C-alpha cells in the first residue's frame, strides 16, 4: 500500500515540475510570441479575394423575355418611286427601299426575301441627309425587277 502512494506522489511531482517548466518558458518567451511581419513588396494594397457566392434571386427581374422588335415589316418601310428609282428598276434590275436606320444589309436582304419571295444578289445602303436609310436591292438573274415592281404595286 505504501508503495502505491509513493508512486502517485512521484507522478504528481513530475507533473508539477513539467507544468512549472512550461510556466517558466512562457514567462521568458511570452505567451504569444511576436509573429514575424510580412514583407510587402508593393506600394499598393489589394483587397484579398474572398468567397463570392452565386446569385440566387428570389424572383425574376423581367416578367417576360423581350420580343424581337425588328421584323420584316419594321425593317422595310416602303419602296421608293422616284424617277431615279424607276431608272434603277429598268436598267440595273434593282429595287429601292426606304428602311429602318438600325437595320443592316443582311436583315434587309432577309426581309425582302420574306416579304416578296425574291432572292437578292447584293444590297447597298446609304443614310440620306434627312436621316433616313435607303437600300438598293439588286436582284438575281432569276427575278426581273419590273415584274416584282408590278407585283408590289410600284408601277
Quick one: CA dihedral 139, 140, 146, 152, positive or negative?
negative
Mean pLDDT value of segment 91-113: 96
Max CA pair span of the chain: 132
The cell for 121 is 444578289
| pLDDT value for 105 | 97
CA 125, CA 103: separation in Å to the nearest integer? 10
Residue of 95, 100, 96, 94 whose CA lies nearest to 77 = 100
| pLDDT value for 102 | 95
Residue of 70, 68, 72, 145 whose CA lies nearest to 115 = 72
Mean pLDDT value of segment 119-127: 97
CA 89, CA 148: separation in Å to the nearest integer? 10
| pLDDT value for 33 | 65
Mean pLDDT value of segment 78-82: 95
The cell for 36 is 514575424
Which tens digit of pLDDT belongs to each residue from 1-40? 555 557 777 778 888 888 988 888 888 877 666 677 888 8
pTM for the model stands at 0.59
**The sheet that has 120-127: what strands, in order across it?**
76-79, 94-99, 133-139, 120-127
Amino acid at each position: 500500500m505504501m508503495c502505491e502512494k509513493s508512486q502517485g506522489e512521484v507522478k504528481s511531482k513530475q507533473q508539477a515540475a513539467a507544468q512549472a517548466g512550461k510556466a517558466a518558458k512562457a514567462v521568458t518567451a511570452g505567451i504569444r510570441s511576436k509573429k514575424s511581419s510580412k514583407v510587402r513588396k508593393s506600394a499598393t494594397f489589394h483587397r484579398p479575394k474572398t468567397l463570392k457566392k452565386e446569385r440566387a434571386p428570389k424572383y425574376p427581374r423581367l416578367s417576360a423575355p423581350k420580343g424581337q422588335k425588328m421584323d420584316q415589316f419594321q425593317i422595310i418601310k416602303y419602296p421608293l418611286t422616284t424617277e431615279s428609282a424607276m431608272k434603277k428598276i429598268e436598267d440595273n434590275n434593282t429595287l429601292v427601299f426606304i428602311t429602318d436606320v438600325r437595320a443592316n444589309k443582311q436583315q434587309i436582304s432577309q426581309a425582302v426575301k420574306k416579304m416578296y419571295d425574291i432572292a437578292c444578289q447584293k444590297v447597298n445602303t446609304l443614310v440620306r441627309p434627312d436621316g433616313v436609310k435607303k437600300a438598293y436591292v439588286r436582284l438575281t438573274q432569276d427575278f426581273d425587277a419590273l415584274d416584282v415592281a408590278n407585283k408590289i404595286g410600284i408601277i
